[in-house]
Amino acid sequence: MTDLDPAFERAITELPDTPAWHELGVERARALEAEVFSRSTDGDVRTTDRPVDRPGEEDTIPVRVYRPPGLEEPAPALVFAHGGGFVLGTLDSADDLARRLAANTDSVVVSVDYRLAPEHPCPAGLTDVTTVVEWAGESADELGVDPAQVGVAGSSAGANLAAMAALRADATVGLVVLFYPMLDPTLDGESHAEHAGAPLLTRADLEWFWRLYRDDGTIPVDDPRLSPLLGAEPSSLGDSPPTVVVTGGVDPLRDDGARYVDALADAGVPVERRHYPGAPHGFLSLADTVPAAADAWDDLAAAVLALR
């Protein structure tokens, strides 16, 4: 078993001591997330909140647009889907990641407040992220971005939605950036067992998240809407854009990302994996306290620029 890097271990011990997500239930977990993760005020990245129309419906999809200072137009763009197991997550809880993504990759970032399970199981969140990807391309002039350089990014469950949206969107998607993607609803990978009790995310948490996203388990685990590893429609993996995948070694999702990298490579897709053996799930959020996480952001930016 890979050992947790001592710097990450120290940072985790300083976090609030809370029950595992699956032990809390949906409402308590969301309340705790709102308490622990709040909107950042650091840096000079400018933000604008706005709605995006949801086709055929009266309600809209809230998004937050991030623009680093001095960014020339038309700029590259990344539509970002937050993590949270398809059950948790808000624009505010993902604010720090979205700001860093914008600043480190010199991109306009559009963070998506997609619908969550269990109220809105698969494929509601996927539909929302796909809609915003298409909107970003159509609204390139308004956003000050290059429609040929609209990409998609995501963290954990949001990385799943990002990868799927890149395949399904009726738009040009130039790049995919995935942080520790959550892709295997069967949970039969070696890392799911090896790191079943890992810090920040456990196998039991994943079981709970997947069950809720699968409409209390009624959606079969081999439904292709659940993951690009299950067969992407209408496109094959060979149609995937160039992709960057970040994985941590002390994460039950380690093998999800590794399998996807292998599948993309086998399909002839340009893909870069950035793997950090001693890092836990969600480690990019610890960049303020762990130098290795800050260095990982630099690595990520270099990989994005290399594939862009």
Q: Which residues are marked as active site?
A: 156, 251, 281
Between the alpha carbon of residue 155 and those of residues 120, 139, 180, 209, the distances in Å are: 19, 24, 6, 15
Is 98 in contact with 179 (CB distance < 8 Å)?
no
Handedness of CA 298, 167, 225, 54 (dihedral sign): positive
Q: Which residues pair with 111 in a beta bridge?
A: 64, 80
Say which residues have a Cβ less than 8 Å from residue 64's Cβ, sequence separation at least 6: 47, 48, 49, 50, 91, 95, 98, 110, 111, 113
49-53: list long-range contacts, CB under 8 Å, 24+ apart.
49/91, 52/131, 52/132, 52/135, 53/135
Cα–Cα nearest to 161, from 242, 267, 82? 82
